[in-house]
Amino acid sequence: MRVDEFTPPVGRVAGCLPRITLLGDRFEVFEDRITPIPRSRWKGLIEGLEDLSQLVSVIHDQGQEGSCFPAGIRILMSDGTPVPIEKIEPRAFVRTPLGNCKRVTETMIRWEAEKLLCLFTEGYPQVKMTANHPVLTRRGYIPAEKLTADDDVVRSSRSDDAVWVKVQGVEYEPFKGSVYNMEVEDDHSYVAEGIAVHNCASNAAAQCAEIVWSHIYGKDAFVQLSPMSLYRRVASSAQSGSTLDGNIDELAKRGILPVDNAENKERFGHTHPSTGWNVTLPGGWEETARLFRAVEWFDVASFDGMVTALLSNYPVCYGRAGHAICGVAVRVDGGRYVVKYANSWGDWGEDGFGYDSEAAISGAIRSYGAWALRYVTMPDEMPVPKKGE
């Protein structure tokens, strides 16, 4: 068991923001409602307790995503000059695909250890980027990996000579190194090597909700949810990130939509993709989202409170090194207690799960907060648990 293995990305990509409210200001404190279980009882309870990880049907893997470019990619500045993306600093002005001059509010850098996509278009040099970077097409912004030979993209060297050109194809090449992105005020887009592009975690909240529903109604009643349908309402932009408080508040008020898979599309009136900031919520989405709301939850103030919640079968959403994750179980590791969580950031851990120590979690709660989800609503056709079950 490898504990505290999570390495935060360099910079921030749609992550968990520090808490801005005080404990207990908005939500009931778990430790005030339920007396923490004494540590002398933890080991015995762990040995006989159902592991909530068994109720995880899908781990909402953010895929260490963050749409970015390698060093050297030139960005069109407000005066029409191209500047390498790694040299751009906040407060600089860039030209957007809408022809506006907008301020860069944030720059980001992270490590990419797999591959880059090379985009080929008619009459222009190739452009390298991460596969998930949204590119402006006649269909709207599309992840680069979804582009086809039927697509046209905008190519431009200045704002007044933008033209549509045909996509010739994409290829992939191995890559290990730093990649860059930035947040642009208002338009949330910029021009990179003449390509119009857009800049991209409610994952943990959706994960918690799915676990609670499966725990109450059975794993056969599992409904996969769309983190992006929640994130669009609690974030200011694709790259802004969001707070834990904001996610649970919105999850309780208006709910979350099912993901847009074939089963959910047939069953529910409104669905939404799991990722993709540029996809707008469908008209009348509130009608379906209200069926999937948080009903009872608590602020968690301490490691002992988190362990008590998990031993009571309540998953816990908490921030960790700029990223939100869902705690699902308590384990013993060499005489110390650790929390098992669903890993939603890249391909590492044990079968999709990681472990955090008491020290890591205590620091995380101080910085980001944490909440335990106890009960949720469910569509009318779901079986209602009998009293005492």
The CATH number given to whatever domain includes residue 364 is: 3.90.70.10
Same domain, 309 and 352: yes
Q: Is the pLDDT of residue 62 over 70?
A: no
Same domain, 221 and 325: yes
Residue 301 lies in a domain: yes
What residue type is 248 in one-letter code?
Answer: I
The token pair that represents 236 in the structure block: 């200011």
Which of the given ranges, 4-18, 177-191, 292-306, has the highest pLDDT on average? Answer: 292-306
One domain, residues 97 and 182:
yes
Q: Rounded to 10 degrees, what is the CA torsion of 120, 124, 125, 129?
A: -50
Domain count, the chain: 2
Q: What angle do CA 284, 289, 293 make, to 5 degrees?
A: 150
What is the per-residue pLDDT across 135-173, written as a single tens digit (0 to 9) for each? Answer: 878 777 677 888 999 998 877 644 445 578 899 999 999
Q: What is the per-residue pLDDT across 286-338, written as a single tens digit (0 to 9) for each?
A: 999 999 999 999 999 999 999 999 999 999 999 876 678 899 999 999 889 99
Residue 152 domain boundaries = 69-198
Pair (297, 190) in one structural domain: no
Using one digit for the tens of pLDDT, what is the confidence trace for 105-143?
777 777 777 889 999 998 888 899 988 777 878 777 677
In a domain? residue 11: no
Burial class (CB in 10 A: 0-12, 13-18, 19+), 326: buried
Residue 7 located in a structural domain: no
- Give the closest residue to 202 by CA, choosing from 223, 237, 226: 226
Q: Domain check: are 160 and 238 in the same one?
A: no
Look at residue 240 in the predicted model and tell me its pLDDT. Answer: 63
Among 236, 142, 233, smallest CA distance to 186 is for 236
pTM recorded for the entire structure: 0.64
Domain contains 25: no
Same domain, 327 and 315: yes
Whichever domain contains 127, its CATH number is 2.170.16.10
Rounded to the nearest 10°, the torsion over CA 127, 14, 344, 177 is 40
Supply angle C-alpha 339, 341, 347, rounded to 5: 135
Burial class of 86 by CB neighbour count within 10 A (0 to 12, 13 to 18, 19+): middle
CA-angle at 336, arms to 332 and 339, nearest 5°: 60
In this structure, the answer to whether residues 230 and 367 fall within a common structural domain is yes
**348 compared with 371, residue with greater pLDDT:** 371
- Residue 156 and residue 217 in one domain: no
Identify whether residues 327 and 187 lie together within a single domain: no
| Among the ranges given (33-42, 79-88, 176-185, 249-258), the one the predictor scored with the smallest mean pLDDT | 176-185
β-bridge mates for residue 353, sequence order: 342, 350
Q: Which two structure tokens, joined as six digits, stand for 157?
A: 């060297």
Do the domain assignments include residue 12?
no
Residue 158, domain member (yes or no): yes
Which 3 state secondary structure label does DSSP give 35? coil
Q: Give CA separation, 268 vs 40, 55, 176, in Å.
A: 46, 22, 42
Cβ atoms 271, 259 nearer than 8 A: yes
On the question of pLDDT at 274 being above 70, the answer is: yes
Let me know: does 337 contact 355? Beta carbons within 8 Å: no
Last residue of a domain, one of 175, 198, 221: 198
* 207 CB-side CA count, 13 A: 29
Co-location of 315 and 211 in the same domain: yes
Indicate whether 383 belongs to any domain.
Answer: no
**Distance between CA atoms of residues 173 and 64, nearest Å:** 18
pLDDT at 48: 81
Q: Report the largest interatomic distance among the alpha carbons of the chain, rounded to a whole angstrom.
A: 72
- Final residue of a structural domain among 169, 198, 227: 198
Examine residue 223 and state whether it is found in any structural domain, yes or no: yes
If asked whether residues 219 and 266 sit together in one domain, one would say yes
Instruction: Output helix, strand, coil percentages for the chain, rounded to the nearest 5.
Output: 25, 35, 45
What are the tens digits of pLDDT across the range 222-242? 899 998 899 889 887 665 677
Task: Please check whether residues 263 and 364 belong to one and the same domain.
Answer: yes
CA distance 239 to 66: 8
* Distance between CA atoms of residues 131 and 170, nearest Å: 10
Domain boundary (198, 231, 250) is at 198
